[in-house]
Amino acid sequence: MLKAYFDKSGQESAKFLTLSGIAAPDDVWVEIEQNWKHILLAGDLKAAYMHMVEAVGLRDEFSPGKGWTREKVFPVINALLSYVTTIPKERYCQFACTIDMDAYRKLRAETYQMESPVELCIILCVDRVVFWYLHEYKDMDLEAIYCFDQNEPFEPIFKAKWEREIERDLWIKTYSIWQHIKDVGSADMRVTVGLQVADMLAWGNNREATLGSSYQHIALTMKRLMPTKEVKWEEQNLRKRYRPLIYKA
């Protein structure tokens, strides 16, 4: 069974919106979960989970009231980051789609006809997991579960798309890649390690795209040292893919 976890960073109203996904089979996730939790509980200060916004912002689970400081948070983040780079590369893959929302809004104002930001992220992050699994992963058993963070727009849109494809297969009596997905749902990031790993990549991607930001090494390290399929939607490639409704010479 393949399990893929998806989390986002940023908003449609912000400068960047990123959706990231992490995919690996069951047995690899068992090891990831054990080691991830061990790192969070190994130091003098314990954390029940990793959430980058909380850790860097020193709030909630990483609040100063619990003893956390920037100097104490930094080595925990780096320990988790270092661990991720040791996961077996042949059985693990990362996916990311980042949209420059300033460019997206500019082209919308010029009447460019584009999918919504959520749909763009789904097409170029979520959909690609099954293609990776079918075409690159070895010794596969052709079943997958997709899990999204709670209360975000990606899960219901992708689930509706998946259900439509399954109905289409039944109608025309065919068997497509969509039938390899056995369940689509959501979970609480604070108790789901896969979502915490996806959060680290998504948050790091947005930091990497923001010049002068701290922790820019996170995405660079994860993407350079681990198998990654990434798309960045900037003004140039948005203009290449789409056309305006009202053409202006």
Comparing CA positions, the residue from 41, 48, 51, 43 lying closest to residue 71 is: 43
* Residues lower than pLDDT 50 in the chain: none
Residues in the chain: 249
* 2-26+92-240: CATH, from 3.20.170, 3.40.30, 3.40.1350, 3.30.420: 3.30.420
What is residue 233's predicted lDDT score, i.e. its pLDDT?
Answer: 94
pTM recorded for the entire structure: 0.93
Q: What percent of the chain has pLDDT over 70?
A: 95
Q: Are 147 and 136 in contact (CB under 8 A)?
A: no
What is residue 93's predicted lDDT score, i.e. its pLDDT?
Answer: 95
What is residue 134's predicted lDDT score, i.e. its pLDDT?
Answer: 76
* φ, ψ for residue 192, nearest 5 deg: -120, 105
Angstrom CA distances, 142 to 115, 154, 157, 244, stand at 29, 23, 23, 40
What is residue 208's predicted lDDT score, i.e. its pLDDT?
Answer: 87
Q: Are 156 and 163 in contact (CB under 8 A)?
A: no
